[in-house]
Amino acid sequence: MDYVMNGRVQRPMGNRHPTMAPHGVYPCAGDDRWIAVAVGTDAEFAALCRVMGRPELADDERFVDVLSRLRNRDALDAIIADWTRRHDHLELMYRLQAAGVPAGAVVDGRELLADPHLKAREFFRELDQPGAGRYPVSFGGLKLHRTPARIIRPAPRLGEHNEYILKELLGLSDEEIAALERDGVIGRVPVAAVRREVQASDG
C-alpha cells in the first residue's frame, strides 16, 4: 500500500516498527540477556520514562510525540539501551508491564520451564519416554473445560512404526521391508551411529 500510494519501497527494519517508537530488543544485565519493548502511544512512552527515572524525556522535543520519536529513534534507542543494560531482563519486564508498558523478556529454555505463568497454565507436563526417561514436554496453550487435552503417548522412537505402516497399511512383504532396511532406507538406529559402528569394526 505504501508503494502504491507513495512510491516508497520498504526496506528491512530489523526489530523496528514503521509507526511505533521505541520498538526494539534491548540488552540487559548478564550474558546474552535481552528485553523487547514496544511503545504504541504517548501514554505508554510517558510510563516508560517514569520507570526509567527520566520523566523529563516525555517532554523532550525530540520525543514528544510518535513522529518525533520516529525521527530520533537512534538517539532514543541509545538512551533506552543504556538504561536496560543495567537491569535484569525478567525484573525489568515485570516493572514495565506493571506500569502499562508492553514488554517481554527474551528467555531461554531453562527460564521457560520456570516461568510462573506457563506453570499456572500447565504448559509443560512431564512424560515418560522409553529409553530417555522422564522429562517435560510442551503441552500447548489451549485449556478446554469440557474437553481437556491429554497426552496419549510419547513421540515415536526412530523406526518404531515401520512395520505397522509398511506392512499393515501399505501391504509390503517381510522380504521387501528387510530389503529396505538392508539398503538403509529405513531403520531403528540413526545413520551416524551405524557409521560409527562400521568405522570401529574396520579399525
Instruction: Yes or no: say if 160 and 168 are a contact pair by the CB < 8 Å rule.
Output: no
- 78: domain CATH number is 3.30.1540.10
Q: Are residues 8 and 97 in the same domain?
A: yes
Q: Are residues 170 and 78 in the same domain?
A: no
Q: What string of pLDDT tens digits covers the 203 residues of the chain?
A: 889 999 989 889 899 999 999 999 999 999 999 999 999 999 999 999 999 999 999 999 999 999 999 999 999 999 999 999 999 999 999 999 999 999 999 999 999 999 998 988 888 888 888 878 888 888 777 788 898 877 778 888 889 899 999 999 999 999 999 999 999 899 888 876 556 655 666 65
Count of domains for the chain? 3
- Supply the pLDDT for residue 44: 98
Q: Are residues 14 and 65 in the same domain?
A: yes
- Using left for φ > 0, alpha for ψ between -120 and 50, and beta otherwise, residue 148 falls in beta
- Supply the pLDDT for residue 142: 79
- Supply the pLDDT for residue 127: 86
Q: Are residues 87 and 177 in the same domain?
A: no
Q: Are residues 113 and 102 in the same domain?
A: no
- Supply the pLDDT for residue 192: 66
Q: Which domain holds residue 28?
A: 2-106
Q: Are residues 102 and 10 in the same domain?
A: yes
What does the block give as the cell for 86? Answer: 543495567
Task: State which amino acid sits at residue 71.
Answer: R
Q: Are residues 78 and 173 in the same domain?
A: no
- Supply the pLDDT for residue 196: 64
What's the gap between Cα 91 and its chain centre?
19
Q: Are residues 63 and 15 in the same domain?
A: yes
